[in-house]
């Protein structure tokens, strides 16, 4: 029987050096793929949420309160921590849920926690016909999605603060274009 030996110190050093070189050259590529995957997920999520909010607005449009009664919320937010505001002026996106001007998005899209009348099983009457999404999660960076749709019966805008965590897009900006690395989806008036 032959006696088996392990690797020599020189062989081990060569193998570890080769593995280190591979890891160092591959790490930026892997990090770039992870970053791209987060951007793609955030883009898809804001599109899904904007379409869900648009559908909700379409379904409950006729249930809109009269001008003198209940004010609709100014903003809807998903779960997760709010981002920070950049110098460009994204402070309005960061308001806490207060049940008056800022509502939890899930109460409108997922559970009907605000108590819209349900859509009748037959006929074309308006009413809540959800859930409009399977559930709500945070954005890929652990922060909340925000929307200024707020049942204000206008343009639906859904926003994620993006990788830097700072909202740079103004709450009421012309054309609602994304500023900086914010991820934004816009859908026109659903009426």
Predicted pLDDT of residue 70: 44
The answer as to whether 5 is a domain residue is: no
Q: Does residue 27 form part of some domain?
A: no
For 70-89, the DSSP string reads PPPPSEEE-SSB--EE-TTT
pTM: 0.77
Residue 134 lies in a domain: yes
Domain-embedded: residue 15: no
The pLDDT value given to residue 93: 83
What's the pLDDT tens digit per position in 18-62?
Answer: 999 888 888 888 778 888 899 999 999 999 998 898 888 888 876
Token couple for 99: 């049940």
Instruction: Give the residue numbers spanning the domain of 160.
Output: 41-187
Checking if the pLDDT of 92 tops 60, the result is yes
Instruction: Assess if residue 10 is contained within a domain.
Output: no
Domain for residue 89, yes or no?
Answer: yes
Provide the domain count of the chain: 1
Residue whose C-alpha is closest to residue 190's, from 157, 146, 153, 158:
153
Interval 59-89: pLDDT, tens: 887 655 554 444 556 788 888 888 888 765 6
CA dist 49 and 148 (Å) reads 12
DSSP string, the chain: -PPP----HHHHHHHHHHHHHHHHHHHHHHHHHHHHHHHHHHHHHHHHHHHHHHHHHHHHGGGPPPTTSPPPPSEEE-SSB--EE-TTT-GGGGPPP-SSSEEEHHHHHTS-TT-PPBPPSSSS---B----SS-----TTSB--EES-TT-SS-EEEEE-TTTTEE-S-TT-GGG---TT-EEEEE----
Q: What is the pLDDT of residues 103-136, one digit of tens each?
A: 889 988 898 888 888 888 777 778 888 899 988 8
Residue 132 domain flag: yes
CA distances to 3, 10, 11, 43, 88 from 49, in Å: 66, 58, 55, 10, 25
The 10s digit of each residue's pLDDT in 174-187 is 556 778 888 888 88
Tell me if 24 is assigned to some domain. no
Structure tokens at 156: 């639906």
Q: What is the mean pLDDT of the chain?
A: 80
CB-CB contact of 60 with 127 (8 Å): yes
């Amino acid at each position: 029987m032959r006696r088996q030996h392990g690797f020599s110190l020189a062989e081990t050093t060569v193998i570890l050096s080769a593995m280190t070189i591979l890891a160092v050259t591959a790490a930026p590529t892997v990090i770039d793929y992870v970053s791209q995957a987060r951007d793609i997920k955030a883009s898809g999520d804001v599109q899904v949420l904007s379409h869900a909010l648009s559908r909700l607005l379409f379904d409950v449009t006729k249930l809109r309160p009269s001008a003198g009664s209940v004010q609709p919320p100014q903003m809807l937010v998903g779960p997760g921590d709010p981002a920070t505001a950049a110098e460009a002026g994204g402070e309005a996106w960061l308001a806490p849920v207060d049940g008056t001007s800022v509502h939890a998005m899930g109460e409108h899209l997922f559970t009907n926690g605000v108590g819209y009348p349900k859509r009748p099983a037959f006929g074309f009457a308006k009413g809540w016909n959800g859930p409009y999404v399977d559930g709500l999660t945070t954005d890929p960076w652990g922060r909340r999605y925000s929307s200024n749709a707020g049942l204000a019966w206008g343009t639906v805008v859904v926003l994620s603060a993006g990788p830097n965590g700072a909202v740079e897009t103004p709450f009421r900006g012309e054309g609602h274009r994304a500023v900086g690395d914010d991820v934004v989806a816009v859908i026109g008036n659903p009426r």
